[in-house]
Amino acid sequence: MADNSTQEDFKRVAFVTGASRGIGRAIAKRLANENRHVVLVSRTESPLNDLAHEIEQAGGSASVRAVDVGDGEALAGAIESAVKELGRLDILVNNAGITRDNLVLRMSDEEFDDVIRVNLRSVFVAIRAAARPMMKGRFGRIVNIASTSGLVGNAGQANYAASKAGLVGLTRTIARELGSKGVTANVIAPGFIETDMTANLPDQVKDGVKAMMALRRLGTPEDIAAAVAYVSAEDAGFLTGQVIAVDGGLTMC
């Protein structure tokens, strides 16, 4: 009989928003590979079910919550129900995000508010719901996916850059509030990553961005997933309040 006495008798539980495609999907797969039970969250259920199936086929475990993170009550309810079902919550990856680009003179209140609600307010709501179970377990890894747009600004993205810059202040405050309970909070700020969000950028724009990057290539969702795995690792307990730009050397700030 195999000796499992040195293995943990539980799986860490990770709640990943925006898991149906792009960066969130890669993060969910990576964390599942690292023996985390992953709660997959987005508005559309069928790609989440497909991903859960894929993770289970590969020997991992996952569950699904179809939720609009812009609906605070629904998001907090999903976290509470996951904790009730799984008995714990260890890793929270706030990745769901949207863009509603426009130059500031043309940007409507609605475009501004929608982006703040989905990209920033939802993260506050999720952290508030996750903090208690994490503190109870005296372990937590909060990972907020921001953007280099929030660090250096980007014309046409006043709403988006404000939401992502807001995540930096939110994260550092949470890091200070929860650090003594074993909970860390960090920001990963991707540069240009090849997903649906950047698929419609003209080649000319992509080439211009590549020319500004030390590594001369766009990133992949897996590049971001690797950084999330790093900051959410068991032995990353001394890393908190940091902003890590994973951008191929675009900003270096």
The Cβ of residue 120 has, within 10 Å, a number of other Cβ atoms equal to 24
Cα atoms in the 13 Å half-sphere on the side-chain side of 146: 29
Rank residues 178 and 189 by Cβ distance to ligand NAP and give the closer one: 189
Rank residues 20 and 171 by Cβ distance to ligand NAP and give the closer one: 20
Task: Give the chain's end-to-end CA distance (angstroms, integer).
Answer: 53
H helix or E strand, kind and range, residue 215:
none
- Rounded Cα–Cα distance for residues 82 and 12 (Å): 12
Query: Going by C-beta distance under 8 Å and a sequence separation of 6 or more, which residues neighbour residue 73?
Result: none
Q: Please give the DSSP secondary-structure letter assigned to residue 230.
A: H
- Cα 119 to chain center, whole Å? 10
- So which residues are the catalytic ones? 160
- Rounded Cα–Cα distance for residues 97 and 24 (Å): 10
Rank residues 42 and 186 by Cβ distance to ligand NAP and give the closer one: 42
Residue 4 CB, shortest distance to ligand NAP, in Å, is 35
Asked whether the beta carbons of 28 and 3 are under 8 A apart, the reply is no
Residue 69 CB, shortest distance to ligand NAP, in Å, is 4
In angstroms, what is the C-alpha Rg of the chain?
18
Query: Going by C-beta distance under 8 Å and a sequence separation of 6 or more, which residues neighbour residue 35?
Result: 11, 12, 60
Asked whether the beta carbons of 206 and 218 are under 8 A apart, the reply is yes
Rank residues 34 and 114 by Cβ distance to ligand NAP and give the closer one: 114
Residue 226 CB, shortest distance to ligand NAP, in Å, is 14
Q: Catalog residues that contact ligand NAP under the rule CB under 6 A.
A: 17-24, 42-44, 68-70, 95-98, 118, 145, 147, 190, 192-193, 195-198
Residue 199 CB, shortest distance to ligand NAP, in Å, is 8
Rank residues 31 and 118 by Cβ distance to ligand NAP and give the closer one: 118
Residue 231 CB, shortest distance to ligand NAP, in Å, is 15
